[in-house]
Structure 1
Amino acid sequence: MPLVAKAFIAPLIVACAMFMESVDANVIVTAIPEMARAFGRDPVTLKVAVTSYVLGLGVFIPICGWVADRFGARVVFRTAIGIFVVGSLLCAASTSLGPFTVARFIQGVGGAMMVPVGRIIIFRSVRRSEFIRAMNYLSVPAMLGPAVGPLLGGFITTYLHWRLIFFINIPIGIAGIWLTNRYIANSHEEHPGRLDWFGFFLSASAGVLLLLGLSLVGGELIPQGSAYAMCVAGALMVALYCVHARRAEKPLLDLRFFRVPTFQASVLGGSMFRIGLGAVPFLLPLALQEGLGMTAFKSGAITCASAFGGMFMRSLASRVLRRFGFRQTLFYNAALSGIAIAACGTFFPGTPTWVIWTVVLLGGFFPALQFTSLNSLAYAEIETRDVGRATSLASFVQQVSLGLGVTVAGITLELSQYLNGHASVQWSDFWPSFVVVGLFSFISMPITARLAHDAGTEISRGTRG
């Protein structure tokens, strides 16, 4: 095999696996109404299945680096693909919401290991001179997944059957396992050190109990008393972890990074923004299908507009940051992002399709700039030796925030439906949910306002459009 092809076969394998994960995350939201009917549930109730996937990601991402160092990157990456494929098959075979929720969590566990371990593989297999070029492969799934997923999911759901969307992953996964065995070395660290198992238990328990408890509030899967008890237990686990993190020498999630101003603004301030960002992929297809009566395919064709808006903004992000800096960009663009998200609640029967498409396009345009800026700012003041631990904390908070967005949107929608006296969700029930999740972007503004005027200057001046 030529040297160039050999150097980039690993990044291509990783990119394909991430594309599979990205498409799957976006393909399901378009099919939620049809799946709800098959399960005999209200579509809003399926928020628990969406949350369980994000939860699987958030819970296991922090330990992936240690697991890869302990057992080898190839073994873990191959196993992650296998877990994801098994989760996909279980999703397709599910006949009720309970098993489907568990299957989505299993998929999330596989996805959690694929993404960070894939980056480790690239870091170890590509020469430093080719590293940036190799990493560009990973930007393709991030851009194409949100564009292809809704279209593909909408087409399959409308003209075939929703269960078939989970079979998309099977051939890609099998090919990925075979290619991983053949072309990726099983690199690992000789002495990865001890893992903070107690911290992992506390953080995992906190995330699962709190987010799933909130997702189950107002549902029919478990008694409401049990749902509230899960929320209380989850909050208690959060408090216990905070105590543990202060005492542990190397906690799994080191909360001391929040003392760094740029990291605090990116992760804590960004978590408020990501609540809205996580809610929209769940709310928008429901509003278009259940509220406006569109088919899944037409809904997917409109939903993908946000991905195109995001692609266009990514090409401009570095120029905007060089011109205005992080502080101004994050502050004012948070308001624009919140307005763009809330504007999706203005749709009513008879709204022209081109108007809806334009609003959704802007709903991807401004949040993409915020997302890019937040991710870039996170490591502006983090030492190189601390990047791994800072990434674990940031990834955990980000995923929990995305899951919380779905939960908040679902609870608000159910409350609106109840107050309006509707037996099933109507178009007029959606606007409060879009307004509420849009307001979370505004909540992030006071946090970013505390940034120094020159925060992240070195990064913003070093970027190239």
Structure 2
Amino acid sequence: MRRTCPPHIAALFRNHMSKDSNQTALLWIVAAGFFMQALDTTIVNTALPSMAHSLGVKPFVMQPVIVAYTLTMAMLTPASGWLADRFGTRRVYFAAIMIFVLGSLCCASAHTLGQLVIARVLQGIGGSMLLPIGRLAVLRSVSGEQYVSALAMISVAGQIGPIVGPTLGGWFVEAFTWHWIFLINVPIGAVGMFAVYRYLPRATSTAAAPFDLAGCALLSLCMIAFSLAVDAPVQSHRAVWSTALFVVGLVAALSYVPYARRRQNPLFKLALFREPNFSVGLIGNLVCRIGSSAVPFLVPLLMQLELGYTPLHSGLMMLPAALAGTVAKRWIAPLIRRYGYDTFLLVNTLIVGGAIVAFALISRGTPIVVEIVVLAIFGAANSMQFAAMNSVTLKGLSHEDAGSGNSLFSMVQMLAMGLGVSISGGLVSVFSDQWGSATLGFRMTFVCVGAITLVSALIFRRIEETQAVASSVKPATVGSQ
């Protein structure tokens, strides 16, 4: 006689299977969003010379295309959590993908540099919410024992983006046009929006605490002013404009201190800076990343404009750095346990800075094997540097301060990326005009940005080993590159 499963058992089984399938779909949705964001930060670099030619401008004035995107993400990242609480995770994540796709379409339709920069701002608005809200959706839907595994899966997508980005960008430029580096986001985003609508639960809005709009405005003004001070958009009286913008940024930053003391729930509590390693790590990250963030921008330009490489060839040359960085991640924890954060960061910072300076020696006569070795050394050391800096900065924060500290840390990371591109692009232009040689311009720029990275070694010497190193090595925050 055939046995049948009791109805309540069958219902429990169906609910369990449905929950598992929804969680799997959620992870794929968030991973796809992270992939789009990570891909877009690297795919543009190899296409910059072709984009500049198409838009009728010089390659070294294309920095705003990258800076506008990273700066927009830096300004809006702190608001992502509040938006998710206020309007619901599902609704905001759907809107983030839609805005990102619309921004991508506008980028592909741009006919002038100004139009492209505005489109990148729109794209950055969507990109600023993809990872934070996706991570929040996973946190709220996945059980505690599965959360680490879920974040590990998402982080893989973030690692794949920088690996395939430069090569894919070069291939699109050669096989089609540069417009396809943005159009590729459209089908991915369309599938993502359908999946969000289909699989994400209908989360209702909650009574979110009032958002600190004034505090966010002060810090945003600070970041914009500093970025424009480095690369002032005016040619006449440029030094005066840069000085004035720097003063505005400094005043905005200092004004936040008394403001945060008076407000009950400021955007970022000043108590964060009582943790000494957080302050040291934040400053060290800013200085170190200015140099290391210049490399993905400068190297493709060097290879295409000075070495005569095609866009695809220059994209393929970036693979050794990305692959070496992925492999090197497994060495971080053992090395830190053995030598401690202070010694590890001191030595590794010297390696990163030295590798950046070594790019100044690359010329048309340099064997390709040497180029690959330098790129691989930089990629491996830079990957370990980022992970160690992330960990030492955040490891001492309390549980209640971890979210706020990570948000501020993310803002500083993206600010440093924009500053690195602005400073390096400006230096190449200045040195090239001064000596009448683009080759010397590149060489001197690599020396300067390498020296900036080396300065951060002095900052990391102030790290305090306040607890057992073996127990304090944590995985790098998802999305922290």
TM-score (norm 2): 0.90
* Structure 1 segment 61-100 matched on structure 2, within 5 A: 61-100=77-116
Indicate the SS of the match to 2:231.
helix
How many angstroms does 1:353 deviate by?
Answer: 1.5
* Structure 1 segment 371-450 matched on structure 2, within 5 A: 371-422=386-437, 426-450=438-462
Indicate the SS of the match to 2:116.
helix
Indicate the SS of the match to 2:464.
coil
Q: 1:462 to 1:382 in 2, by over 3 A?
A: closer
- 2:46 aligned partner, one-letter code: T
- 2:196 aligned partner, one-letter code: T
- 2:442 aligned partner, one-letter code: F
Indicate the SS of the match to 1:444.
helix
Distance 2:388 2:474 in 1: 13
Q: Which residue of 2 aligns with 1:264?
A: 279
- Say yes or no: does 1:236 pair with 2:248: no
- 1:71 aligned partner, one-letter code: F
Q: 1:393 to 1:340 in 2, by over 3 A?
A: same
Distance 1:50 1:246 in 2: 34
Distance 2:259 2:19 in 1: 49
Q: Which residue of 2 aligns with 1:181?
A: 197
Q: 1:186 to 1:203 in 2, by over 3 A?
A: farther
8 Å contact from structure 1 (residues 255, 393) kept in 2 = no
- Say yes or no: does 1:20 pair with 2:32: no
Q: 1:218 to 1:411 in 2, by over 3 A?
A: farther
- Say yes or no: does 1:297 pair with 2:312: yes
- 1:101 aligned partner, one-letter code: V
Q: For residues 113-145 of structure 1, what are the alpha-carbon distances to aligned partners after superposition, in whole Å with 9 as ceiling and x for unaligned?
A: 111111100101111111111111121122111
- 1:264 aligned partner, one-letter code: S
Unaligned runs of 5+ in 1: none
- 2:141 aligned partner, one-letter code: S
Q: How many residues of Structure 1 are paired with residues of Structure 2 in the alignment? A: 460
How many angstroms does 1:459 deviate by?
Answer: 3.7
- 2:150 aligned partner, one-letter code: A
How many angstroms does 1:40 deviate by?
Answer: 1.3
Q: For residues 33-77 of structure 1, what are the alpha-carbon distances to aligned partners after superposition, in whole Å with 9 as ceiling and x for unaligned?
A: 011111111111001111111101100011111111111111111
Q: For residues 342-385 of structure 1, what are the alpha-carbon distances to aligned partners after superposition, in whole Å with 9 as ceiling and x for unaligned?
A: 21121111212221111111111101111001111222211111
How many angstroms does 1:2 deviate by?
Answer: 5.1
Out of 66, 86, 100, which is 1:50 matched to?
66
TM-score (norm 1): 0.93
8 Å contact from structure 1 (residues 325, 454) kept in 2 = no
- Say yes or no: does 1:11 pair with 2:23: no
Q: For residues 404-433 of structure 1, what are the alpha-carbon distances to aligned partners after superposition, in whole Å with 9 as ceiling and x for unaligned?
A: 1111111211111111124xxx23321111
- Say yes or no: does 1:169 pair with 2:208: no
Distance 2:445 2:403 in 1: 36
- Say yes or no: does 1:335 pair with 2:347: no
* Structure 1 segment 69-148 matched on structure 2, within 5 A: 69-148=85-164
- 2:281 aligned partner, one-letter code: S
Q: Which residue of 2 aligns with 1:152?
A: 168
Distance 2:226 2:307 in 1: 33
- 1:457 aligned partner, one-letter code: V
Q: Which residue of 1 aligns with 2:469?
A: 457
8 Å contact from structure 2 (residues 31, 157) kept in 1 = yes
8 Å contact from structure 1 (residues 32, 43) kept in 2 = yes
How many angstroms does 1:3 deviate by?
Answer: 4.6
How many angstroms does 1:296 deviate by?
Answer: 0.4
How many angstroms does 1:217 deviate by?
Answer: 4.6
Report which stretch shifted further, 121-130 or 1-10: 1-10
- 1:132 aligned partner, one-letter code: V
Greater CA radius of gyration, 1 or 2? 2
- Say yes or no: does 1:37 pair with 2:49: no
Q: 1:455 to 1:108 in 2, by over 3 A?
A: farther
How many angstroms does 1:461 deviate by?
Answer: 5.8
Aligned-residue Cα RMSD (Å) equals 2.2
Distance 2:177 2:475 in 1: 45
Q: 1:458 to 1:187 in 2, by over 3 A?
A: farther
Distance 1:218 1:32 in 2: 22
Q: For residues 148-206 of structure 1, what are the alpha-carbon distances to aligned partners after superposition, in whole Å with 9 as ceiling and x for unaligned?
A: 00110001112221111111000110110110111112436633211111111111222
* Structure 1 segment 214-363 matched on structure 2, within 5 A: 214-217=230-233, 229-363=244-378
Q: 1:223 to 1:416 in 2, by over 3 A?
A: closer
Distance 2:345 2:67 in 1: 27
